Amino acid sequence: MTSLPLFYSDEVQDARATGKAIVALESTIISHGLPYPENKETARSLEAIIRAEGAVPATIAIIEGRLTIGLSERELHLLASGEVPVTKVSRRDIASVIAKGQTGATTVAATMIAAELAGIAVFATGGIGGVHRGAQQSFDISADLPELGRTNVAVVSAGPKAILDLALTMEYLETAGVPVIGFQTDELPAFWSRRSGIPLIDQVTTPEEMAEIMKVKWQAGLDGGILVANPVPQAHEIPADEIATAIEAALAAADAEGVSGKDVTPFVLSQMRDLTNGKSLITNQALVSHNAKIAAQIAVAYAAQTKA
């Protein structure tokens, strides 16, 4: 049992006390994913989507050394505005950022950790990290994957980011025993695209079905997360063959400039915005909004089933 203090917004604290459904949200999309003020507007839009579905949003960050579950207007502005340095926080960084009293935005891995500590079972994000292309030589594998193998949170995402090696990412998840469950799809979505060509062995069609799987898994003591693969809405997708050229160009630019480690993904996503004339950003915003909606529906269903 952790003794690390958590700091809750009044809204999240009330939801915990009354047993209301809660959905975790990451904060790297605010500080490292989108420019200001679009980042702040997107964050509040995602929270509004979750509330509209009957759940409570809990955007997670480290604010001046405090692991914070649910952000105030001041705290959100601190992350979005760039007025103070904001560290990109994964599992390895949590202790240092808290101990030094710094401010940090949580990645998928760090958000999962904080969500589990806070008793939040569902987390909505855009896309997860995974095995990078060329990982056979670089060993570049996102910390999101081992976190999914050990932390009890259902992550609703539009699949791994398409700049990654999707086949190897799926192999890793299979080895780690992570259920990858398609939400109204039988194929792994590829972030900007609805299809990747990689079949999924398990699918659900309703939030209630997904909630039942979560309940059974964790009641059986089968620790670890679940990846809920939720495709981008068809009206906003960029087909895989169309986006492929831009992905290759963005990865080549990263290689040419010597970008590595945790800087690769934000660099490549920024390149993608330019290469697609902003189309990739519009798709990104659409898919993360859709993930927030489905995550809230799953959280409401799970809260109802675990109360029963």
Listed residue (55, 57, 60) closest to 114, CA to CA = 60
In terms of Cβ atoms closer than 10 Å to its own Cβ (0-12, 13-18, 19+), residue 100 is exposed
Identified catalytic residue from 88, 161, 262, 293: 161
Contact of 129 with 161, CB cutoff 8 Å: yes
Contact of 115 with 85, CB cutoff 8 Å: no
Distance CA 279, CA 246 (A): 11
Please indicate whether residue 88 is annotated as part of the active site.
no
What are the two backbone dihedrals, phi and then psi, of residue 88, each rounded to the nearest 5 degrees?
-80, 115
- Which DSSP helix (H) or strand (E) runs through 183? strand 180-183
Give the number of other Cβ atoms within 10 Å of residue 300's Cβ: 21
Identified catalytic residue from 26, 47, 53, 75: 26
Distance CA 287, CA 173 (A): 22
Query: Amino acid letter at 260?
Result: S
How far the first Cα of the chain sits from its last, in Å, is 26
Please indicate whether residue 237 is annotated as part of the active site.
no
| Residue 29 DSSP class | I
Residues that are catalytic: 26, 161
